[in-house]
């Protein structure tokens, strides 16, 4: 007797991520009510299931939806502003002045909507976002139909969003309370960085993450200058300060983590923390290369992030996956470091685990949400294909992403986004480009 389901996806190859180091040929994924019912050989699928819709991907690889572990989505509207500038000068002389003049709820909504379109087009189904006006970001994400972890921002200085640290926290927690029933929205505490957040505020964050079991999404050890400043001000490196303040633990997502020594890597691993590795942004801002080989050797969980489009300048996680694998090999001198399966794990389940969502997303497993992306190999420029997992990391690009589902809902079909009006996005970006004159913030 057949079982009625909503969707059956037949694929030439499936890389489920769980179990690890596995590539399945000629298999199918059964989906019902937004969740994965089974992963099984294609020949068995027709006998077991009667699907309301069948999708055949006969020249494709089916992956879990990609997880962007670190992004400032609204900063898509600042793409290309003050390129080729070191981090602190870029922030203090260009980005912060531009944000001070232009950031508003409308800016965040429109920039986030544009970012969602770009991310979905590239196979990203979940984003961990950190920016102002989280309610506006959540509204855009809901319109786009993506899954997101919305950061509740915290800084010590005033912005258009909040007056001080207490105001940031109060507004952020109120936003969480108002939005927490939306099934595709999750939340994280998002103090900006050790150099912009006080000891008192970090102590409050430590209390809240314990009470609410929320991730702590935080820039850590991005530059050598950050570490030098912490040594001058606090007499210790930033991570040690965070450890003493109770921030280092399984909920910590240490973003960038470029300048870690061996003891710090061991500390993060022992505490069950995660790293959001953002290789393109780190290179573009001259911050350095994260010690990924040493992190992997210690068993430290690694996810991948794009950072914002202002410092990347693409929200392209497949590109990050390739670059992360190559940098790990080049920096360590070991070509076996961060192999294709490990790189794909970082782009999917590694990010999901960091967010506490590993039971919901990150692999193609029965019981999980049907957050999926398909990559087409129907292009002679991608041929021949001997190892599909290798092709996903070293050959295919976001232009080859053909289908995307979030919770079983198709968001991209045959390379075309569902629900997005291209003209509306073009009009939005044109309006903001006119307002944000780059000549006011010269590179």
CB 212 within 8 A of CB 252: no
Residues 6+ apart with CB under 8 A from 69: 128, 253, 274, 276, 277, 303, 304, 305, 350, 351, 354, 355
Q: What is the pLDDT of residues 228-242, one digit of tens each?
A: 999 999 999 999 999
DSSP-derived pairing of the beta strands 3-14 and 49-64: parallel
**How does pLDDT run along the chain (443 residues), one tens digit per residue?**
799 999 999 999 999 999 999 999 999 999 999 999 999 999 999 999 999 999 999 999 999 999 999 999 999 999 998 899 888 888 889 898 999 999 999 999 999 999 999 999 999 999 999 999 999 999 999 999 999 999 999 999 999 999 999 999 999 999 999 999 999 999 999 999 999 999 999 999 999 999 999 999 999 999 999 999 999 999 999 999 999 999 999 999 999 999 999 999 999 999 999 999 999 999 999 999 999 999 999 999 999 999 999 999 999 999 999 999 999 999 999 999 999 999 999 999 999 999 999 999 999 999 999 999 999 999 999 999 999 999 999 999 999 999 999 999 999 999 999 887 777 888 888 899 989 876 555 55
Give helix 165-179 / helix 199-212 axis angle, nearest 10°.
20
Q: What is the pLDDT of residues 269-302, one digit of tens each?
A: 999 999 999 999 999 999 999 999 999 999 999 9
- What the chain holds in terms of domains, given with CATH numbers, is 3-64+372-406 (2.30.40.10), 66-354 (3.20.20.140)
Whether this model's pTM surpasses 0.95: yes
Q: Is 272 exposed, middle or buried (0-12, 13-18, 19+ CB in 10 A)?
A: middle
């Amino acid at each position: 007797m057949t079982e009625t389901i909503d969707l059956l996806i037949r694929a030439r190859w499936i890389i489920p991520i769980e179990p690890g180091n596995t590539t399945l040929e000629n298999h199918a994924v059964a989906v019902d009510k937004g969740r994965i019912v089974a992963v099984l050989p294609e020949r068995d699928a027709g006998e077991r299931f009667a699907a309301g819709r069948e999708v055949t991907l006969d020249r494709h690889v089916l992956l879990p939806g990609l997880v962007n572990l670190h992004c400032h989505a609204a900063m898509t509207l600042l793409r290309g502003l003050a390129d080729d500038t070191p981090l602190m000068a870029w922030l203090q002389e260009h980005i912060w002045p531009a944000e001070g003049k232009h950031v508003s709820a409308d800016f965040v909504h429109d920039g986030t909507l544009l970012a969602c379109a770009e991310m979905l087009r590239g196979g990203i189904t979940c984003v961990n976002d950190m920016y102002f006006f989280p309610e506006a970001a959540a509204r855009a994400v809901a319109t786009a139909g993506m899954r997101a972890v919305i950061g509740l921002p915290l800084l010590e200085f005033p912005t258009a969003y909040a007056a001080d640290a207490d105001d940031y926290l109060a507004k952020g927690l109120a936003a969480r309370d108002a939005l927490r029933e939306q099934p595709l929205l999750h939340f994280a505490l998002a103090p900006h960085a050790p150099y912009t957040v006080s000891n008192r505020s970090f102590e409050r964050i430590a209390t809240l993450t314990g009470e609410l079991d929320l991730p702590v999404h935080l820039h850590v050890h991005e530059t050598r200058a950050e570490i030098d400043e912490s040594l001058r001000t606090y007499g210790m490196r930033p991570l040690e300060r965070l450890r003493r303040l109770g921030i280092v633990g399984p909920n910590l997502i240490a973003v960038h983590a470029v300048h870690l020594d061996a003891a710090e890597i061991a500390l993060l691993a022992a505490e069950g923390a995660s790293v959001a590795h953002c290789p393109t942004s780190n290179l573009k801002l001259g911050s350095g290369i994260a010690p990924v080989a040493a992190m992997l050797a210690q068993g430290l969980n690694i996810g991948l992030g794009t950072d914002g489009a202002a410092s990347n300048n693409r929200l392209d996680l497949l590109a990050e996956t390739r670059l992360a694998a190559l940098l790990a090999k080049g920096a360590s001198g070991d070509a076996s470091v961060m192999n294709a399966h490990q790189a794909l794990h970082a782009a999917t389940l590694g990010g999901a685990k960091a967010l506490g969502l590993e039971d919901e997303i990150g692999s193609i497993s029965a019981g999980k949400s049907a957050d999926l992306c398909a990559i087409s190999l129907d292009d002679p420029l991608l041929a021949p294909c001997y190892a599909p997992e290798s092709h996903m990391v070293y050959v295919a690009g976001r232009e080859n992403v053909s289908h995307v589902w979030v919770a079983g809902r198709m968001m991209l079909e045959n390379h075309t986004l569902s629900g997005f009006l291209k003209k509306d996005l073009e009009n939005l970006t044109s309006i903001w480009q006119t307002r944000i004159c780059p000549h006011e913030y010269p590179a």
